[in-house]
């Protein structure tokens, strides 16, 4: 018996440009070796990322400035031809609002769509599958590296996926400076760089300033989801959220708002199986296939 049309479409979603082979997550200093200078190139409107202010400890970059390498002809075509249709500008003069999101997704004012932001989607394989399997949601996919952006653009075009839009930006700069209002129902951080070197722990995305920032962008009751195959990163996340909730100097907590409730029923600890609630990511698959485990945390904004 031949495969179903839906299975055939899902197989196409797995195709596309892949990043270099995954390295050890916890034992080395994060992913991908030493940071490098960004590759030079010609900027198109709304395409090059809004940069964080590195001198500000709250805004230190949580990703590595990798060399972008030589893009393939199909990647260049995707960035040139598809970005105007699926990309969202997040430059210094741009402000992303509920109204602008309805416009870029082609929604009417009466449509109140469930919106998920995924930060650092890598190749976009899992992002495309999640969007395809959940046509009732909208996904804002945030990434800084061009090969991954091109890969997801190609998947979106090839499978006519209408509910994904891409943003090239530093996540903290985007959330703090380029967005206005409570626009999101969930924020996903799936298998981020763990920055395991003690001298670089400050680069981890989950930090007090990040929690404060996303509490202004998530709707009340919105979710923060963090997954990693590095238990050290999950321990760091637990400690950071707990410290936020218990900080005596936190005015938000004293005023009864912006507290994070751990949803322990949705926690995964040392899981060996693929998740049932979302598509498995590339890094997650590599960890599980090599005999590793996965941890996942979900927190609700009160």
Catalytic residues: 193
Beta bridge partners of 144: none
List the end-to-end C-alpha distance of the chain, in Å, as a whole number. Answer: 50
CA distance 66 to 32: 8
Beta bridge partners of 119: 142
Look-up of token digits 């190609």: 154
**Which residues have CB under 8 Å from 227's CB, separation 6+?**
188, 189, 190, 191, 268, 275, 281, 284, 294, 295, 296, 297
Report yes or no: 167 and 97 within 8 Å, Cβ to Cβ.
no
């Amino acid at each position: 018996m031949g495969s179903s049309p839906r299975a055939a479409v899902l197989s196409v979603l797995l195709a596309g440009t892949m990043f270099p082979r995954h390295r050890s997550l916890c034992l080395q200093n994060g992913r991908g070796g030493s940071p490098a200078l960004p590759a030079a190139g010609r900027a198109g409107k709304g395409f090059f990322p809004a940069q964080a202010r590195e001198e500000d400890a709250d805004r230190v970059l949580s990703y590595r400035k990798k060399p972008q390498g030589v893009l393939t002809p199909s990647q260049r075509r995707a960035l040139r031809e598809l970005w105007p249709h699926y990309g969202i500008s997040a430059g210094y003069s741009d402000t992303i609002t509920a109204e602008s999101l309805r416009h870029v997704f082609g929604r009417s004012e009466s449509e109140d769509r469930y919106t998920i932001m995924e930060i650092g989607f890598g190749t976009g394989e899992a992002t495309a599958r999640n969007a395809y399997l959940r046509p009732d949601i909208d996904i804002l996919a945030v990434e800084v590296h061009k090969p991954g952006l091109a890969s997801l653009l190609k998947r979106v075009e090839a499978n006519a996926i209408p509910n994904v839009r891409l943003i090239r930006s530093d996540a903290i700069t985007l959330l703090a400076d380029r967005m206005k209002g409570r626009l999101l129902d969930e924020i996903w951080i799936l298998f981020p760089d763990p920055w395991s070197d003690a001298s670089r722990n400050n680069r981890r995305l989950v930090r007090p300033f990040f929690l404060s920032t996303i509490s202004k962008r998530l709707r009340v009751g919105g979710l923060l989801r963090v997954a990693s195959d590095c238990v050290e990163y999950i321990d760091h996340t637990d400690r950071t959220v707990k410290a936020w909730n218990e900080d005596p100097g936190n005015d938000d907590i004293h005023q009864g708002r912006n507290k994070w409730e751990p949803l322990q029923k949705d926690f995964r600890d040392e899981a060996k199986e693929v998740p049932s609630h979302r598509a498995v990511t590339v890094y997650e698959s590599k960890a599980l296939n090599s005999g590793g485990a996965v941890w996942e945390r979900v927190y609700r904004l009160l």
